[in-house]
Structure 1
Amino acid sequence: MFKTPIVITLLTFLIACSSMKEAGVVYHDGFDFSSVKSYSLYDRNSTFTEAQGLLDTRRNAIEIAIERSMAEQNFNYAELDETDLIVTYHLVSGSRKDYAKYNEVVRFCTFCLQATTWKTDQQYSAIRRGSLIVDLVDPKQGRSVWRSVYRLDLEDRENSAETNDRIKQAISAMMAKYPR
């Protein structure tokens, strides 16, 4: 009598755990990631922010998740003019124009992935609607040196706690791929 609900619950957890998403990562092997001690985020009034079409609540959730994940990896927050890396992000809406504008702001070249200076630890999948992109930008060059993509697929019916948990999980999985 009680066995069926228990079995169904266990199967649900098993399926949920087995469907954990992987974060795809590419990075430039000419950048010295081991020397990075600090990070920063772009100000809200920057060109970067203009390339985003995010509500403040979603932006806040992503930035808080980034700050927590960076702190867990012992990176310190610094001002933009004193930082080793700038962390940027983009939630893909499906608009090629928005995606191209974001790539232009972080100076990420998708064609350059074919170059031998870019490495990948995980399969770098195609960017699709609902994907969250995190870039680490070298402030000296003003160019992305590391990118991770995670299929976030947020749904409108999710409450803010569920959304925030999924964002935290995504950022944590992405930043776990940081090259040391």
Structure 2
Amino acid sequence: MNFKYLMILVASTMMVACATSYKPDIDYNPEYDFSTVSTFAVIDPFKADQTQSKPLNRQLSSLDNDRIIKAIAVALRNKGMAEVDAEVADTLVRFQVATKDKTEIRTYNTGVYNCWRCRGIYSYPYPVQEVQVKDYTEGTLIIDMIDPKTQKSVWRSVVSQAVKKNVPVNEKQAKIQELVNAMLVNYKASLIPTS
């Protein structure tokens, strides 16, 4: 009987260890009264860039842009907030995506190599090092909560990680939702000033 519980504990620990965990960097204005915030509006950066005659952010497709907008709206509605027009919203949600090409270099000492063809005095072992070079793209998602009166950020969440390629289309929304949920998990609830 105890073995069964031990196996369940081991299996659940392994599943938690394999789960993707995002650790957002969060910053906010401690003087801002978050208890007054109950409505939001997500600002679409594609539309804003087009109306201000700015070049579009080509690092993000319009499909992924729409997925992020949907994920933010779902996460905030799950917190009990209502989505309204930008003119009457208590907070404006603005996001941006940045990418950077990076290179990771790892060096391993793999031991020694002994010449198998050499005999006698010529069979001296010598150290061998293996070098692995990995090129990847790091993506950063930034979500800002903007006070509509001052047009300044009062809360910010940032996550950076390697961008996975060839993600199946049917999994993209779920992965973006998981990321946005992790970024917004501490928004509002823990920030309301206590009297």
TM bracket (short chain) = 0.5 to 0.7
* AA in 1 matched with 2:149: K
Equivalent residue, structure 2, for 1:166 = 175
Give the one of 121, 124, 130 matched to 2:139. Answer: 130
Deviates more, 1:27-36 or 1:161-170: 161-170
Deviation at 1:40, TM superposition (A): 0.3
Deviation at 1:92, TM superposition (A): 1.5
Equivalent residue, structure 1, for 2:95 = 89
Structure 2, gaps ≥5 residues long: 1-6, 102-136
**TM-score after normalising by structure 2:** 0.63
* AA in 2 matched with 1:133: I
Distance change (3 Å), C-alpha of 1:143 and 1:85: same
More strand by share: 2
Does structure 2 retain, via aligned residues, the 8 Å contact 1:136–1:146? yes
1:52 and 2:57 correspond: yes
Cα distance in structure 2, aligned partners of 1:50 and 1:74: 35
Equivalent residue, structure 2, for 1:15 = 17
Identity %: 22
Equivalent residue, structure 2, for 1:42 = 43
Cα distance in structure 2, aligned partners of 1:12 and 1:51: 42
Does structure 2 retain, via aligned residues, the 8 Å contact 1:152–1:167? no
Cα distance in structure 1, aligned partners of 2:84 and 2:146: 14
Cα distance in structure 1, aligned partners of 2:16 and 2:43: 39
Matches within 5 A, 1:56-75: 56-75=62-81
Does structure 2 retain, via aligned residues, the 8 Å contact 1:87–1:137? yes
Deviations 1:87-111 (CA, angstroms, capped at 9, x unpaired): 111121129xxxxxxxxxxxxxxxx
* AA in 2 matched with 1:74: G
Equivalent residue, structure 1, for 2:134 = none
More helix by share: 1
Cα distance in structure 2, aligned partners of 1:55 and 1:92: 12
If asked which structure has higher relative contact order (CA below 8 Å, sep 6+), I would say 1
Equivalent residue, structure 2, for 1:155 = 164
Structure of higher CA gyration radius: 2
Aligned-residue CA RMSD in angstroms? 2.8
Cα distance in structure 2, aligned partners of 1:50 and 1:147: 24
Cα distance in structure 2, aligned partners of 1:22 and 1:136: 18
Equivalent residue, structure 2, for 1:143 = 152
Equivalent residue, structure 1, for 2:109 = none
Does structure 1 retain, via aligned residues, the 8 Å contact 2:138–2:161? no
Does structure 2 retain, via aligned residues, the 8 Å contact 1:38–1:83? yes
* AA in 2 matched with 1:16: C
Count of residue pairs brought into register by the alignment: 141
